[in-house]
Amino acid sequence: MDKVLPGGIYKDLFLNGSASGDMFTVPAGRIIELLYGNFFMTTNAAVANRVVTIDIHPTAGPTVLPLFLFTLAASLTRKLAFGTSTPATDTDMDDTIQLPSRLLMNAGMEFEVNILDGEAGDNWYLSCKYIEWID
């Protein structure tokens, strides 16, 4: 039988970092639906390329849904937007992605930003909105 999820609480998620990534884990006893957000990264050091991945996966499990995978050269900036409908394209965003219409995540699933070859002085943030229910 399908679960009925009336109501829910709208919440904000903000992750940020420099040379390494970060993650958000859905709390025990909760279900969330990712709605929309944006990612911004600027690289400072004049050496190396950064490989950025943003994905959803179970704890210690394989990737369920890769959202972004890109390489960013030194001293550059990248802005990305994502949402359940197609994000506006006439903005200063470099790229957009449309999420599935109901992107539900169970307790223990992780929303992760991973930065490979990050350098001191790099900065990034991920900001998004989601709905949370008690499971």
60-102 per-position pLDDT tens digit? 788 888 888 999 998 899 999 898 876 666 667 888 888 888 8
Angstrom distance (rounded) from CA 98 to CA 31: 21
Sign of CA dihedral 35, 127, 15, 57: positive
pTM: 0.86
Q: Does domain 10-26+34-134 have CATH number 2.60.40?
A: no
Angstrom distance (rounded) from CA 37 to CA 128: 4
CB atoms < 10 A from the CB of 79, how many?
15
Say if residues 12 and 103 touch (Cβ distance below 8 Å).
no
13-72 per-position pLDDT tens digit? 999 999 899 999 999 999 999 999 999 999 987 788 999 999 999 987 888 888 889 999
7 half-sphere exposure, CB direction, 13 A CA radius:
5
- In the chain, what are the domain boundaries? 10-26+34-134
Angstrom distance (rounded) from CA 35 to CA 32: 9
Collect all residues with Cβ–Cβ distance below 8 Å to 72 and sequence separation of at least 6. 41, 43, 49, 50, 52, 78
